[in-house]
Chains A and B, each alone.
Chain A
Amino acid sequence: MNQMNKETYAIVRFGRRVGTREEGEGARADFLATLERLPPDGQLIVSLDGIEVLSGSFADELIGKSYQLLLSGLYGDRTMLIETPSLELAEGLDDKLTQRNLAMLCLSDGDWSVLGRLAEPHRETLGMIIERGTTTAKELAEALGIPPNACHQRLKRLVDLRLVHQEQIGTTAPKTQYRFQSIL
């Protein structure tokens, strides 16, 4: 992804210790406006830098609910990920994403992880896409040693959660062909 299409949104603008549901709800309009201003394939990097405490309630109102809107298709192909100096800081968000049956990519100290709920086979598949950068379902199925249908199921979940980017590369009958790209 073009670096120009990425924008960092610092949560610390709302304080080092955040916060209540009311505050999270109040912050959401600005957050979504930033998301809206991005190009259609842009990426919002939600930074927890400078934050001391992030409560589950604030995280849910601001990030969890916004992410749910993003996944509903309201914001085109935009993606969102978390960048945090420590995973502990994102625990409240992790809990809330789990409750919502969602998952987000998280960068911390140069490593990626997944916040929220994502089954281990999906994490394995995601890891392989991140490692390769770009791949196809066929290549993945072979590398993972799983049937194509099972691979497609995993990829559908990853695409639905915007954890990977899907791009159509051709229409070879009887099925459309796609390429899957890491969003990192």
Chain B
Amino acid sequence: MELTIEQIEGVMSLVLDGRRRLDLRNVRFIDPYGLLLLDLVLRDRAEGSAPLNVVWPTHPPVRNWMQAMGLAFDVSATLRPKSRLPNVRTALQPITRIEDERGVIALVNGFDARLAERYPLDESPRRTLIRIMLELFQNIPQHSNATGNVSDAHGIAAMQDYRDGIVLAIADKGVGMRASLSLRGEEKVGSDAEALDAVVLRGLSRFRDPGRGQELMRIFRMVRSWDGTIAIRSGSALLYHDPEHGADVHDVAPFPGVQIALCIPTRVFGIGEVDGAPEDGFNEPDE
């Protein structure tokens, strides 16, 4: 069992279907996107009337990584780890809260520094990634509570490196694209899939100001031009693109907010394969 961009939806539909117990014992791999969705869905259930009873993964590298990434801290969960410390070398950028615009630059600098400490990065794609993070991170304070009705949109981000790619995930459980876009007030947004299409493929935002919007569209195109993978989830729709299958919108279990994952090939940054690096990065046995 894996909780990845491609497979986390199975867990989401189980949880959002009202299941009270989530058995993750056999999880052998989890990526930042899976981690953030798990974080938000646990939080959502805890804030509601039916907290989820989670059986945590037993595979030590997965447990340790989840701890090192700060899941337990962020959702106040107890992973009940065995007596060993998490392998901090494996976690690139733990779960980080994005609360207001004033803190965005510092957060982006932190993400960039962690990546740059680990690898020498080509400057041009590095700057592009910084621009991408600046736009994605500030979207949370700008848009996740666009209607003013959300008490805590809980914006979070995390990043992890693998042998072949860097995965950056950003997620919130705010109003989502459809509710935000409806504030534009000039055209009816019928479904989450239509909202995704309008925002990501046509570049609309809730503002009529022509200078607003289009950033997600540019990011989508940039990741595509890098032969990367991108997933953008909002409400009951998921726009997923990978180099092999292209882009498509999928129906998913309804969940508040917007959740985004980018998987950027390491070669984009001029990073060669790291000697001795395992195929799945943090998933290697630690012993």
Contact = CB atoms under 8 A, between A and B. Distances in A.
A65 B134 CA distance: 19
B218 A95 contact: yes
A58 B131 CA distance: 10
Interface string A32-51: 00000000000000000000
A31 to B, nearest CB: 15
B96 interface: no
Interface string B88-130: 0000000000000110110011000000000000001001001
A57 B102 contact: no
Contacts of B210: 99-101
B101 A17 contact: no
Interface in B137-191: 138, 142
A100 B214 CA distance: 12
Contacts of B218: 56, 95
Nearest to B108: A17
Interface residues of B, number: 21
A92 to B, nearest CB: 6
B130 A96 contact: no
Given A99-B210, A99-B211, A20 B138 contact: yes
Most chain A CB inside 10 Å of its own CB: which residue of B130, B210, B213:
B210
A53 B130 CA distance: 7
Contacts of B9: none
A142 interface: no
Nearest to B134: A55
Contacts of B104: 20
Contact of B134 (A57, A60, A100, A101): A57
B227 interface: no
A167 interface: no
Contacts of A88: 124, 127
B135 A57 contact: yes
Given A23-B101, A100-B210, A56 B127 contact: no
Interface string A120-154: 00000000000000000000000000000000000
Contacts of B212: 60
B135 A55 contact: yes
Contacts of B124: 88
A25 B134 CA distance: 15
Nearest to A64: B211
| A-B complex: 3 closest residue pairs judged by Cβ atoms | A22-B101, A55-B134, A60-B211
Interface of A: 15, 17-23, 52-58, 60, 64-65, 88-89, 92, 95-96, 99-101
Interface of B: 101-102, 104-105, 108-109, 124, 127, 130-131, 134-135, 138, 142, 210-215, 218
16 contacts: A17-B105, A17-B108, A17-B134, A20-B105, A20-B138, A21-B101, A23-B101, A52-B127, A53-B130, A53-B131, A55-B131, A55-B134, A60-B211, A92-B131, A99-B210, A99-B211
